[in-house]
Structure formats: C-alpha cells, structure tokens
C-alpha cells in the first residue's frame, strides 16, 4: 500500500512539473507565464487571451526553461 501511495505522489508531481500553464503576472503591457516544457502552446494561447483583453496582440519577449519554463510576453498594438 505504501509503495502505491509513493507512486501516486510521484505521478502527480511529474504532471505538475510537465503540464499546466499558470499566469504569474499580467498588467496589459506584459504577461509572464510559468509552464511546463511541453506546454508552450498553452502559454501562448493564455498570453494571447490576456493581450486581447486590452485590444492588443502578443509578442514573445523571452523564455527560460530551468525545471519549468517562464515565458515573458509583451502586449503590442495590432
């Protein structure tokens, strides 16, 4: 039973590292999103939605991927 619990914790930890994009900051000018290495498309989609709220389009300003990625986007005029 204990081995099964450890396996579940490991799987959940892996999923939290590998997936799910989370907006960390958004102010209408800059959007910063933390996401898994395989989740760049979700991050771009999320940034596009944030910039669309202020009538702008998105521009990828930078991305760093240590354990999880942090992407910075700029909201620019269309």
Q: Enter the tokens of residue 3.
A: 């081995």
Report d(CA 47, CA 33) in Å as an integer.
8
- DSSP annotation string for 54-73: TT-EEEEEEEE-SSSEEEEE
pLDDT in tens, the chain (78 residues): 575 555 444 444 444 444 577 878 999 999 999 999 888 899 999 999 999 999 999 999 999 998 889 999 999 998
Report d(CA 70, CA 40) in Å as an integer.
10
- For the whole prediction, is pTM greater than 0.85? no
């Amino acid at each position: 039973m204990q081995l099964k619990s450890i396996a579940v914790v490991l799987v959940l930890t892996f999923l939290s590292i590998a997936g799910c994009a989370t907006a960390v900051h958004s102010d209408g000018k800059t959007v910063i999103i933390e996401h898994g290495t395989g989740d760049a498309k979700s991050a771009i989609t999320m940034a596009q939605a944030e910039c669309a709220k202020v009538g702008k389009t998105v521009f990828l300003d930078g991305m760093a991927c240590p354990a999880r990625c942090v992407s910075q986007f700029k909201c620019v005029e269309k």
